[in-house]
Structure 1
Amino acid sequence: MGEGNSRPHVAVTRRLPDPVQSRMAAQFDAELNPQDRRLDRGDLVALMQRSDVLVPALSDRIDADLLAEAGPRLKLIANYGAGVDHINVAAAAERGIHVTNTPGVLTEDTADMTMALIIAVTRRLTEGLAVMQAGQWDGWSPNAFLGGRIGGRKLGILGMGRIGQAVARRAAAFGMEVHYHNRTRLPADCEAKLGLTWWDSLDQMLARTDVISVHVAHTPATFHLLSARRLKLLKPSAVVINTSRGEVIDENALTRMLRAGEIAGAGLDVYEHGHEANPRLRNLSNVVLLPHMGSATVEGRIEMGEKVIRNIAAYAAGETPPDLIQPWTI
C-alpha cells in the first residue's frame, strides 16, 4: 500500500451505485470516476501505476501487455463482476497480482431476464410493442401476432450451474419440460428436485428441444460451442437464448440461419464481439436484442459492490480475499 498511508489506494474505472461509492470512500483511499468516462489504455496504465487496487468492469480489457506496464504497486484487481474473461488472470498471477470477482449475487436477476427473453421471443412481444409505438395498430384480429405457448415446450439448458438451475426452477413453474447438458451430471436427487432430464450428448439435446438457453462461461473449450454445425441441428421452430457469454455462439452462423428462417427466433443479451452486435440482427423482427441487461438491477449492482469491498478489505487486512480466483481454474 502507499507509503505512509494505512488505507489502500483503490482506483475504480466506472461509476458504481452511490451507496457502493460512499462505502468505498469511507473505507479506502478511493479514486472514483463520477462522470463514468470510459477509460482508454493510457488512463488504465496510469491508474494501475499509482494504485494498490484496481476495480475494473467488463468494459475494461486488462491484458498481458497492459499488466506489464502496471508497475510494482498494484497487488489486487478486484473485478466488479462475476466474469473475468476480460482479465488475463494468468499474466496477473505471474506479476504477483491477485484477481477477485463477485460470484453468486446475480443468479436470480440473470435467471429472471432469461425467462423474460424466452417469453418475449416466443410471444412476439417486441413486434407488438413496435406496432403500438408506431401507432399502426388497427384493432384485434384472430391471426395477428400469433406466438407459441410456453407450457409444454422443451427447454434445453446448456450449463447447469447456479444460473442454469435458477432458470430450470422458473421454467418448470411455467410448465416447460427442462433438459440440460453439462460437463458433469448433477446428483440424482438434484435432478429429481428440479425435474431435469440429462443429456450426455449436446448434439442430441439440441435436436430435440424447442428452446436453447446458454449458461456457460467463455473459455477456449466453449468458444463457438454452438457452432454452425450444431445450430443446424436445431428444429426450424427452435428459439436460442443467450444471457451468458456471446463468444459461445457463432454469431454469424446464427444470424444467417435466423435470416433464412432456419431458426425461429433468438433473444440475446450478450454478443460475440462485446457491445458490437452483428448489425444484420437489428433488422430481424424475430430477434430480441438487449444491451447486457441480465444483471441490471439496483439490488444486484449494490451486492456486487459489497463483494468488491469485502475482497479489498480482506486484502488490506493481510487476509485471503473470499472471492480470490486461482489461475488454474480459468
Structure 2
Amino acid sequence: MSEHRILVTEPIPETVIDFLSTLGRVDVGVKGEFNNEDHLADVLPKYDALLCMLSTPVTEKVLTNASKLKIVANFAVGYNNIDVAAADHLKIKVANTPDVLTEACGDFALALLMATTRRFNEAEKYLREGHFKSWEPMGFLGMELREKTLGIVGMGRIGQAFAHRARAFGMKIAYHNRNRISPEIEHELGADFFDDLKELVSKSDVLSLNCPLTDETHHLIDEETLDLMQEHAILINISRGPVVDEAALAKALHSKKIAGAGLDVYEFEPKVHPDLLTAPNCTLLPHIASATHETREAIGMLAATAIKQVLQGVADKNITNLVTSKS
C-alpha cells in the first residue's frame, strides 16, 4: 500500500505534526501559502488528506481537482471556507473542531469586554506616547460591569461560557438564539430569552456576537441595528467578521452613536476597514480568541484524529466531528 500524503496548509503545533507523521508523509506550508484557490487546486491532487485554516479556499474547483482526497479537516469550529455540498457530492469527508475552543474563547470574550469598557487600548497608547503626566480625575472614564446587561447573540457553547464569566462580575444576562436553551441552563446562567433581536439590542449595555456565519446572520448588525443600540453601549464580536457591516460600525463609532467596540474578527479578514483603524474607541485584535498553547494543540489533535479515522477506514458514524451540507 502506498504511503498516505497529508497537506497541512500552515505551521501548527509540533505534537500534531508528529501524530500525523505516524499516518504517512506530512507537508507543511508557510503562512498564507495556500490562501490562493488556483495554487491549492494545482497542489492538492497529490494528497489524501488536507488540514487547513479558515483562510484556505476549499472551493468546488479545488475539491474536483483533488482526485485522491478523502478528508478536509478544518483547524476551526467554522467551515464556511469549505464548499461542503461539493465535498458531499464528491464523497470527501469534512470535519471541524468544536468544543475545545470554548474555555479559551470564554476567557477571551471577557478580556475583550473589559479592555473595551475600560478603554485599555486608548489609555496604553496615551501612556506610550508620553502624555501621562499626572493622575486625572476625568481621565479615560469607562463603564463598570456590575448590574449592566450583557446581550448575547448566539447562546451556544462559547456564548454560555462567556455568560458564566460575565455573571461572576455581576452582569445581567440576556440572549437571542435560534432555539431557546433549556430552562435548567437559563436558570444556571440567570439568562432572559429575547425572541426579538431588536429588543435585545436596544436593552443591552454590551452586545456580544457569538453566532455562526450563515446567510441569515450576514450583516446581522447593520446600520439599522446599530441605531437601536444605546449611546453608552459596547459591541463585542468574536464570532465571524461578516456578521457585522464594518462600514456601518465605523460610522457609528466615529459619530459616537455607540461608545465602543471590541473586535477579533473582520468582514474582509485579514483586511480591516480603514475607518475602524482610526476609531479611538475600538479595540482591535488579530483573531486570537483561541490563541492559547493548550487550545491550539487540542484543535490540531481533534483535526488530526478525524484524518486518522478517515484514512484508516472508520465508519462515518464514528468519525470525530464530521460535518455535511445537512449539518
TM-score range, shorter chain: over 0.9
Other structure's SS at 1:327 match: coil
Maintained 8 Å contact 1:11/1:47? no
Give % identity.
37
User: Could you tell me which of 9, 12, 20 is aligned with 1:13?
Assistant: 9
Paired letter, 2:144: R
User: 2:43 is matched with which residue?
Assistant: 47
Other structure's SS at 1:10 match: strand
Aligned counterparts, 1:166-245, within 5 A:
166-245=161-240
Q: Where does the alignment leave 5 or more consecutive residues of structure 2 unmatched?
A: none
TM-score by length of 1: 0.95
User: 1:279 is matched with which residue?
Assistant: 274
Deviation (angstroms), 1:324 = 0.7
Matched, 1:85 2:80: yes
Partner deviation per Cα, 1:46-105 (whole Å, 9 max, x = no partner):
3320001111111211112222322x2112111111110011111111111111111111
Structure 1 residues 202 and 15: CA distance shift in structure 2, 3 A: same
Paired letter, 1:92: A
User: Could you tell me which of 85, 93, 104 is aligned with 1:98?
Assistant: 93
User: 1:32 is matched with which residue?
Assistant: 28
Other structure's SS at 1:240 match: strand
Structure 2 distance, partners of 1:218, 1:124, is 28
Maintained 8 Å contact 2:41/2:61? no
User: 1:328 is matched with which residue?
Assistant: 326
Deviation (angstroms), 1:225 = 1.2
Structure 2 distance, partners of 1:27, 1:137, is 57
Structure 1 residues 64 and 27: CA distance shift in structure 2, 3 A: closer
Matched, 1:108 2:108: no
User: Could you tell me which of 285, 308, 311 is aligned with 2:306?
Assistant: 311
Structure 2 distance, partners of 1:141, 1:177, is 30
Note the aligned Cα RMSD (angstroms).
1.2
Maintained 8 Å contact 2:44/2:62? no
User: 1:266 is matched with which residue?
Assistant: 261
User: 1:66 is matched with which residue?
Assistant: 62
Structure 1 distance, partners of 2:301, 2:209, is 27
Other structure's SS at 1:92 match: helix
User: Could you tell me which of 154, 164, 180 is aligned with 1:159?
Assistant: 154
Partner deviation per Cα, 1:277-330 (whole Å, 9 max, x = no partner):
10111111100000001111111110011101210111122112211102112x
Matched, 1:124 2:122: no
Partner deviation per Cα, 1:193-214 (whole Å, 9 max, x = no partner):
1110111111111111100000
Deviation (angstroms), 1:14 = 0.6
Paired letter, 1:273: F
Other structure's SS at 2:133 match: coil
Deviation (angstroms), 1:227 = 2.1
Structure 1 distance, partners of 2:27, 2:161, is 36
Maintained 8 Å contact 2:153/2:209? yes
